Amino acid sequence: MADAIVFNGGARGNWKVLRQGAIKGAGLGNVAFVDRGTKGDAGASWTLSGVTSNLRYTNASEKKVLDATPSVLARPGATRAALIPITKSAAWWAMAQDERRAVLEDKSRHIAIGSDYLSAVSRQLVHCRDQVGAPFDFLTWFEFKPEDEARFDELLVKLRATPEWGFIDREVELRLEKAA
Ligand code: HEM
């Protein structure tokens, strides 16, 4: 079953915002904290929510690689995180499943590139495209140790240079530190 994941941006929360900004398109209102949980907060400046889901594009051999290093959140020492909400373009969604897979992996190597970072970066993909009125298609969440932040930066540079990123209309990035 899908798990509901809710991010409340505001004056309180379990993650402190170190910096935030728009990578492409409109940003989100600046907040001091993000609370990652399962419920909305009426006092929040903004709330983003979605659900975990099944894989869409990953093939069996790629899944085997991913499953060999399961993504575990809240690992000891992983006190840094990134929340990157993303919306893809109409051109992306107009393509058939096999054409989208071809851009994501055959042309962009998203899964292959990401697989090099499995030991350093824990991740969670939250889907919201099928939710009425949702401002983003995906809420991507990553956790890592402070000493692995440079590797995460390197991963972002690689992914953002791929053809897949040409289909992204809106991308916002928040860097976070686990609140005491
Ligand atoms: C830690 C390394 C990473 C790995 C191993 C990884 C792996 C994957 C995999 C396997 C999928 C496809 C899931 C499916 O089959 O449906 C996926 C999708 C996705 N990833 Fe990554 N990823 C990584 C990093 C990132 C980063 C840094 C971002 C954002 C900046 C990102 C954004 C996304 C998005 C938005 C999707 C959904 C694409 C779609 O369905 O159109 N990923 N990722």
Closest ligand 1 atom to Cα of 63: 10
Architecture per CATH, domain 54-178, reads as 2-Layer Sandwich (3.30)
69, 110, 116: which to mutate for ligand 1, most atoms within 8 A of CB? 110
Residue 72 contacts by C-beta under 8 Å, 6 or more apart in sequence? 122
- With helix as H, strand as E and coil as C, how does the chain read? CCCEEEEEEECCCCEEEEEEEEEECCCCCCCCEEEEECCCCCCCCEEEEEECCCCCCCCHHHHHHHHHCCCCCCCCCCCEEEEEEEEECHHHHHCCHHHHHHHHHHHCCHHHHHHCCCCCCEEEEEECCCCCCCCCCEEEEEEECHHHHHHHHHHHHHHHCCHHHHHEEEEEEEEEEECC
Q: Is the CB of 117 under 6 A from ligand 1?
A: yes
- Terminal CA-CA length for the chain: 31
pLDDT digits (tens, 9 = 90+) for 79-99: 999 999 999 999 999 999 999
123, 136, 148, 170: which to mutate for ligand 1, most atoms within 8 A of CB? 123
Compute the distance from residue 85 Cα to the ligand 1 centre, in Å: 12
**Which amino acid would we find at residue 52?**
T
Question: pLDDT tens digits for the chain (180 residues)?
Answer: 678 999 999 999 999 999 999 999 999 999 999 999 999 999 999 999 999 999 999 999 999 999 999 999 999 999 999 999 999 999 999 999 999 999 999 999 999 999 999 999 999 999 999 999 999 999 999 999 999 999 999 999 999 999 999 999 999 999 999 998
For the CA atoms of 151, 25, 20, 87, what is the dihedral angle to 10 degrees? -60
88, 97, 140: which to mutate for ligand 1, most atoms within 8 A of CB? 140
**Minimal-distance CA residue to ligand 1 atom 10:** 111
Q: Is the pTM of this model over 0.95?
A: yes
Compute the distance from residue 59 Cα to the ligand 1 centre, in Å: 13
Task: Give the CA count within 13 Å in the CB-facing half-sphere of 134.
Answer: 21
pLDDT digits (tens, 9 = 90+) for 148-175: 999 999 999 999 999 999 999 999 999 9
**Minimal-distance CA residue to ligand 1 atom 24:** 114
